[in-house]
Amino acid sequence: MYPDERRILMTPGPVVFSIDTLRYMLSTVYEHTSLDFALIYGEAVRKFRRVVGARDGVPTFIIPGSGTLAMEASLVNTVKPGSRVLVVSHGYFGDRWARIASSNGYDVKVLEAEPGDIVGEDVIVGELSKSRYEAILVNHVETSTGVRADIEGLARVARKFDSLLVVDGVSSVAAEPLECSNWGVDVVLTASQKALETPPGLALISMCTEKALEAYGEASKNVKGFYLRLSEWEKVMRAYEEGRISYYATPATHLVVALERSLEKILREGLENRVKRHAALAKTLRAGLEAMGLKIVARGEEIAANTVTAAYTPPGVNPSELRSKMTTRNVIIAMPLHPALRDKSFRIGHMGSVNANDIISTIAALERTLKTLGAEIELGSGLKAAQETLVNLNL
C-alpha cells in the first residue's frame, strides 16, 4: 500500500514536487486568519498572475478544488446561463467542457478533431461566421492525446467575432508559452497538480482582459448556488493581497503555502527557460519513442504538447499490462483516456521538475518492458535517438 522503492512518476498529474515545497508546507500549521498566512496567500496570487501573463490586479482566484471546479467556476461566472457556447474539443477534456456547459444549461455546439489532431482555424471561423457564440471553450493542452491548441491564434479569432475565450490551461500553465493579457486570452484556469508542481487540491483562475472583466461583472451577479460565486471569493482574494484577513470558506492552507513556494521556484527558473526545458525533453522523448518504432498520437511535432505524450502500443501489447510491468520497474506511466485510444495506447507525462534522467530512464524501462511483452523492439534504439537529441540540444 505504501511503496518504499524510489519511483519515477511520469504521469500527467499529479507530479513530483520539490522537497523545499514539502518542507515549507509541513513546517507549521498555518491558520487562515493569521497575518502570516494572508501575506503568503497574497504572494501566491501575485505570482500566479505573472506565470499566466495576467495584468497586475486583475481578479485572480485560488480556491480549494480541482481543475474541473476551475472549469465550471470560470464558465458560470463569465457567461450568462442559456448562452450559446462553442466547445473546441480535441479529446477527453474538451468533451468535459461540453459536459460541464450542458449540465449548466448552456446551448452547446461542439467542434471535434480526430484523435491526435486539432480543429483547424478555418473550421472555427466557419462556425463563428454562421452563428453568434457568447464564448469559446477550449483546452490549451489536451491531456488525453498530447496535442496543443494554437491559443494565440484562437484569441485573435475570438476577438474578431466578439466571443469570450475561456482556456483550460490545466496541463499547460507554466510549461507552454502563454501571455494571457497580451494575447487577449480572456479567462485562463488551471489546477495545482500539473505543471505548477504542487499537490492536488487547488483551482486557479485569472480574468486577463477588459472583456473578461465586463463578462465577469455581468455574469457573476447571477451565479446560482453559493460555493462557486467568484464575486464573493474576490473579496477574500483582495483582502489577502492587501494583507488583511477575510473569510468565505476555509482555504486549503497547506496547499496555498506549497503553491507559493512552487510559484517562487517556477519564476526563479524563469518562464522562458522553463518552457524551453519542457519542449526539449518532450522532443527527446518523442524521438526515443519513434526510434523504437512506436507511433505518436499527436499528428505532428508542431502541435505536440510540451507536457504529455500519447503513443500507440505495439501490436499485441495491452496498455494496462504495460503500465503494471513498468510499475514493477519503478517507472509510472499513465493509461489512455480518450475513448478512441483505449486498449491501444499509453501516455507519459513530462511536466514540472522533469529532467533528462527521467526521460532516459523511462525510455530504457519501456524498451525492456515492451521486449519482455513480446514486442519487436531493438534494445538501445530509443535510447540512442534520445541521447543524440540531448547531445544536439546541448543537454
Q: Which residue lies nearer to ligand PLP by CB, 281 or 292?
A: 281
How large is the greatest C-alpha to C-alpha distance in the chain, in angstroms? 63
Stretch that binds ligand PLP, among 103-111, 137-145, 147-155, 318-326 (CB under 6 A): 137-145
- Residue found under cell 513498468: 326
Please pick, from the candidates 11, 78, 89, 139, the single residue that binds ligand PLP as defined by CB under 6 A. Answer: 139
Closest CB 190 distance from ligand PLP, rounded Å: 9
Angle at 143 between CA 95 and CA 382, to 5 degrees: 145
Residues 139/90, Cβ–Cβ less than 8 Å = yes
Determine the size of the site formed for ligand PLP (CB under 6 A): 12
Closest CB 230 distance from ligand PLP, rounded Å: 17
Calculate helix-pair angle for 92-103, 67-78, nearest 10 degrees. Answer: 50
Long-range contacts of 243-249 (CB under 8 A, 24+ apart): 243/35, 243/38, 243/39, 243/42, 244/38, 245/32, 245/33, 245/34, 245/35, 245/38, 247/32, 247/33, 249/64
Please pick, from the candidates 17, 93, 183, 216, the single residue that binds ligand PLP as defined by CB under 6 A. Answer: 93
Please pick, from the candidates 62, 149, 173, 191, the single residue that binds ligand PLP as defined by CB under 6 A. Answer: 191
User: With helix as H, strand as E and coil as C, how does 155-187 read?
Assistant: HHHHHHCCCEEEEECCCCCCCCCCCHHHHCCCE
Paired with 312 in beta bridges are: 345
Please provide residue 206's backbone torsions phi and psi, each rounded to the nearest 5 degrees. -130, 135
Q: How many Cβ atoms sit within 10 Å of the Cβ of residue 2?
A: 3
- Restricted to residues 5-24, the positions that interact with ligand PLP (CB under 6 A) are 13
Closest CB 262 distance from ligand PLP, rounded Å: 16
Residue 61 in contact with ligand PLP, rule: CB under 6 A: no
Reported as type and span, the H/E element at residue 110 is: strand 107-112
- Restricted to residues 252-291, the positions that interact with ligand PLP (CB under 6 A) are none
Closest CB 191 distance from ligand PLP, rounded Å: 4
- Restricted to residues 144-183, the positions that interact with ligand PLP (CB under 6 A) are 168, 170-171
Closest CB 307 distance from ligand PLP, rounded Å: 9
Q: Which residue lies nearer to ligand PLP by CB, 66 or 182?
A: 66
Q: Which residue lies nearer to ligand PLP by CB, 243 or 339?
A: 339
Residue 95 in contact with ligand PLP, rule: CB under 6 A: no
Closest CB 162 distance from ligand PLP, rounded Å: 26
Dihedral, CA of residue 72, residue 78, residue 82 and residue 83, to nearest 10: -120
Closest CB 67 distance from ligand PLP, rounded Å: 3
Angle at 372 between CA 320 and CA 145, to 5 degrees: 40
Residue 143 in contact with ligand PLP, rule: CB under 6 A: yes
Indicate the DSSP class of residue 54: P
Q: Which residue lies nearer to ligand PLP by CB, 171 or 209?
A: 171
Closest CB 120 distance from ligand PLP, rounded Å: 20
Helix (H, G, I), strand (E, B) or coil at 15: coil
Residue 251 in contact with ligand PLP, rule: CB under 6 A: no
- Restricted to residues 68-87, the positions that interact with ligand PLP (CB under 6 A) are 68
Q: Which residue lies nearer to ligand PLP by CB, 199 or 314?
A: 199
- Nearest residue to ligand PLP by CB is 67
Tell me the DSSP string of 86-103: EEEE-SHHHHHHHHHHHH
Residue 66 in contact with ligand PLP, rule: CB under 6 A: yes
Closest CB 196 distance from ligand PLP, rounded Å: 11
Residues 20/265, Cβ–Cβ less than 8 Å = yes
d(CA 77, CA 221): 8
Closest CB 393 distance from ligand PLP, rounded Å: 26
Chain Cα centroid distance, residue 132 = 28
Please provide residue 137's backbone torsions phi and psi, each rounded to the nearest 5 degrees. -115, 130
**Residues near ligand PLP (CB under 6 A):** 13, 66-68, 93, 139, 141, 143, 168, 170-171, 191
